[in-house]
A and B are shown apart, each in its own frame.
Chain A
Amino acid sequence: MSRLEMKFSELRGLNKAALVTFITAGDPSPDITVPLMHALVDAGSDVIELGVPFSDPMADGPVIQAASERALAAGVTTTDVIELIRGFRENDKSTPIVLMGYLNPIEIMGYEDFASSIADAGADGIIVVDMPPEEGVELGGVLKAQGIDNVHLLAPTSTADRIRLVCDDASGFIYYVSLRGVTGAATLDLGEVRSRLAAIRVHTNLPLGVGFGIDSPAAAAEAAEFADAVIVGTALVRIVAENSDSPETLIRKASAFIESMSSAMDLAARNEAAAE
């Protein structure tokens, strides 16, 4: 059983949704990434989503693009990201790590090299944002051979045909993009998300995560009612950006924010259990 499967099965037993926290590897500097990952887990994060810096992150909003730019300015390479994963795994054998990145830095390394390196370092899954299933047959095969879950996105605009195609190709979990926009855009209509998730469940048994626009404990708690995972990205990266000159403050504030998310989700789960 993969780390992701184990985590989701454990949380299902507790009737809880997973809290997935996103940071960009090496933002604002490589030294802070591993301590920050451990702090996020201590604060209640169930899965770490680790952004691989890219110069042209076209599906991300300005906050996450700026995180990529800070990491690149600090000289972070894909090889460095792999070493950060290895560093984290020295003290945490169980928390799943899902990478999020774009295809070009993977292609230049070569699919085989990349997949075996991240697997060896202890990564569990990857979201390649600009790689739809249609173009991803070769990469998909290589990832599978290395036991890396191929996490795909679904969007509010995905048609029934596309939902089937994406669900058939995906593993680990499905990441539902809950907003029509880039990461960190506009406001969220959770009612619509709830009904879309129900439509997707018809096609897959994979856990369904909701991301894009989850920026408060209340939104996290509400999404946790109907999603298997709640993904917090932009709101967390903003805290990193605002405190990039002080590692201690950064870690303290990021931890406090994730704790508030986690407690709100726990409370919602207890209330739901009590109501049943």
Chain B
Amino acid sequence: MSVPVAWYLVLAAAMFAVGTAGALTRRNGITIFLSIELMLNSANLTLVAYSRLLEDRTGQIVVLFVLAVAAAEAAVGLALFIALYRHRRTIDLDRVNLLRW
């Protein structure tokens, strides 16, 4: 039997929720970054699921763009973490509060 598309959407919602909770609770910069990747990934799953339901390939192409943006974001973000670590010897985001408030 074939799987209803709504199940994929529920799975994507669950993964998004896990990513949200991770991004809010963790202090390690890398883990927060990984949580954001999780959220991007669940958005991708939603796009592909709707593209299947609506028989429209646009969703798949948007996923391609999201992949590229995620790659760019990962490159710049990790470079920032390297620069931060060089200055502070930590990437614990609770202890990096120079620009806070």
Asked if A and B bind, the verdict is no
